Amino acid sequence: MEPTSRKFTAAIDQGTTSTRFFIFDERGEPVAKHQEEFDQVYPHAGWVEHEPSVLVKSVENCIEIATSNFIASGHNVKDICALGITNQRETSLVWDIRSGEVLHNAIVWADSRTAHIVRQLKLEGTADKIFLKTGLPLSTYPSAVKVKWILEHSKAARDVYEAGYLAFGTVDTWLLYNLAEGYSGERLHVTDVTNASRTLLFDINTLEYDPFLTKFFGLDKLLLPKVASSSNSRAYGVLSKGPLKGLRITGCLGDQSAAMVGQKAFEQGMAKNTYGTGCFMLYNTGNQPVISKNGLLTTVAFQLENRPPVYALEGSIAVAGSAVKFLRDNLGIIREANEVGELAMSVQGLYYQTACKFEWLQLTSVDSGGVVFVTGIVLWKEV
At 55, which CATH number? 3.30.420.40
Q: Which of 262, 277, 307 is the last residue of a domain?
A: 262
Contact 298, 288 (CB under 8 A): no
Q: What are the CA-CA distances from residue 209 to residues 157, 169, 179, 203 (Å)?
A: 21, 13, 25, 6
- Number of independent structural domains in the chain: 2
Q: Can you give the residue range of the structural domain that contains 361?
A: 336-382
pLDDT in tens, 196-228: 999 999 999 999 999 999 999 999 999 999 999
Any domain includes 295:
no
**Hey, is 105 helix, strand or coil?**
coil
Q: What pLDDT does residue 367 have?
A: 65
Q: What pLDDT does residue 160 have?
A: 97
Quick one: what percent of the chain has pLDDT higher than 70? Answer: 88
Report the interhelical angle of 52-72 vs 171-179 (nearest 10°). Answer: 60
Residue 53, CB half-sphere, CA atoms under 13 Å: how many?
A: 5
Residues 112 and 244 in one domain: yes
What does pLDDT average to over the chain? Answer: 87
Contact 344, 356 (CB under 8 A): no
Q: What pLDDT does residue 374 have?
A: 64
pLDDT in tens, 17-53: 899 999 999 999 999 999 999 999 999 999 999 999 9
Amino acid at the residue 226: K
Q: CA 131, 132, 133, 136 torsion: positive or negative? A: positive
> Rounded to two decimals, what is the model's pTM?
0.83
For the chain, list residues with pLDDT below 70: 1-4, 277, 318, 320-322, 348-370, 372-383
Q: What pLDDT does residue 348 have?
A: 62
Any domain includes 82:
yes
Q: How far apart are CA 103 and CA 95, in angstroms?
A: 5
